[in-house]
């Protein structure tokens, strides 16, 4: 903390100032867990507490509700994002999301008071959240950082993952565990029945047809397989090499090499990453 304060030329720190960009190694939540609250942490580090910290971070009424809400609305308006995230406010707001939570009961309640959009994800499954991580990972071409889990590239905020899994790191660990789990647990679906000749005897010149049900892999490509193929192909189109990390307008698809309709199976060897344009061209050729 002293290092960060020195880097900024300050005798005190707000939580939003204590970040990796300013030289922080740890996280403000770690400090609060260790020392009880932010003001105590400042004192332990030999730094000065600020009036704003002492006055409002822990619920005192020195600053009016209208001032806090006006600042929240200001940032949302400047970013043109009525569904402003915690990380966005921490970066551009005058106060902190902790202040808002203490004063109004929670971050979402503060947004409601400011007549901003509120996104609740209670009904979203873990797979919905994992799909969002995969989409964001694909867009960046690498593992996303907490501060990058923001609109418009992410459907959910980093705080959503923290509430569900305990922290962003725990969410990533759960995602990796999920996508690395065995794909073979899904039973192939029965798609048709065929009459296959069954030879009863070598002396018999006629064959007795027998109905045999053919099982195949599903046509749909699940999240685990998509992750495997995208990672293998380095989140780039295998035909033209384009990727969302270089050009955000690029949209990637995972598609069958031999079409499923022509007996191609949904297996790693028969899947490839294509950009939307190359995939469309392939479809035209087929």
If asked whether residues 14 and 103 sit together in one domain, one would say yes
- Please check whether residues 28 and 73 belong to one and the same domain: yes
pLDDT tens digits for range 131-189: 999 999 999 999 999 888 887 788 888 888 888 888 899 999 999 999 887 654 444 44
- Dihedral-angle region of residue 105 (phi above 0 means left; psi in -120 to 50 means alpha; beta otherwise): left
**Structural domain tally of the chain?**
3
Length in residues, the chain? 286
User: Could you tell me if 149 and 225 lie in one domain?
Assistant: no
**Helices 168-179, 223-232: crossing angle, 10 deg rounding:** 90
Same domain? For 175 and 191 the reply is no
* Domain-embedded: residue 121: no
Task: Give the chain's mean pLDDT.
Answer: 79
Alpha carbon distance 32, 80 (integer Å): 32
Examine the domain organization and report whether 17 and 32 are in the same domain. yes
What average pLDDT does this structure show over 98-103? Answer: 80
Confidence of residue 207 (pLDDT cuts 50, 70, 90): low
| 199 DSSP assignment | -
**Residue 223: enclosing H or E segment and its boundaries?**
helix 223-232
Q: Confidence class of residue 198 from pLDDT cuts 50, 70 and 90?
A: very low
Domain shared by 137 and 84, yes or no: no
Quote the domain boundaries for residue 219. Answer: 185-285
What mean pLDDT is predicted for residues 181-205? 49
Task: Please tell me whether the overall predicted TM-score, pTM, comes out greater than 0.75 for this model.
Answer: no
Same domain, 20 and 95: yes
In a domain, 29, yes or no: yes
CATH number at residue 211: 1.10.30
Residues 16-39 pLDDT 10s: 778 777 778 887 777 777 777 777
β-pairing verdict for 189-198 and 208-216: antiparallel
């Amino acid at each position: 903390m002293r290092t960060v304060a020195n880097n900024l030329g300050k005798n005190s720190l707000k939580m939003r100032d204590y970040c990796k960009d300013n030289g922080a190694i740890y996280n403000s939540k770690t400090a609060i867990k260790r020392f009880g609250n932010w003001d105590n942490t400042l004192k332990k580090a030999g730094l000065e507490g600020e009036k704003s910290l002492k006055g409002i971070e822990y619920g005192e009424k020195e600053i009016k509700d209208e001032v806090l809400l006006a600042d929240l609305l200001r940032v949302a308006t400047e970013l043109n994002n009525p569904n402003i995230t915690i990380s966005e406010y921490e970066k551009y707001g005058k106060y902190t999301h902790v202040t808002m939570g203490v004063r109004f009961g929670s971050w979402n309640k503060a947004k409601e008071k400011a007549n901003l959009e509120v996104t609740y994800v209670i009904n979203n499954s873990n797979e919905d959240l994992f799909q969002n991580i995969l989409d964001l990972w694909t867009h960046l071409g690498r593992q996303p950082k907490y501060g990058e889990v923001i609109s418009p590239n992410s459907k959910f905020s980093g705080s959503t993952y923290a509430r569900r899994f305990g922290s962003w790191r725990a969410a990533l660990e759960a995602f990796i565990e999920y996508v690395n789990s065995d794909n073979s647990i899904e039973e192939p679906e029965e798609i048709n029945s065929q009459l296959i000749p069954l030879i009863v005897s070598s002396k018999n010149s006629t064959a007795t047809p027998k109905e045999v049900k053919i099982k195949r892999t599903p046509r749909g490509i699940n999240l685990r397989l998509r992750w495997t193929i995208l990672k293998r192909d380095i989140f780039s189109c295998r035909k033209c090499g384009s990727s969302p990390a270089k050009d955000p307008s690029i949209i990637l698809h995972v598609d069958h090499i031999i079409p499923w309709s022509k007996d191609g199976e949904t297996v790693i060897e028969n899947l490839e990453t294509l950009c939307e344009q190359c995939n469309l061209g392939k479809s035209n050729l087929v």
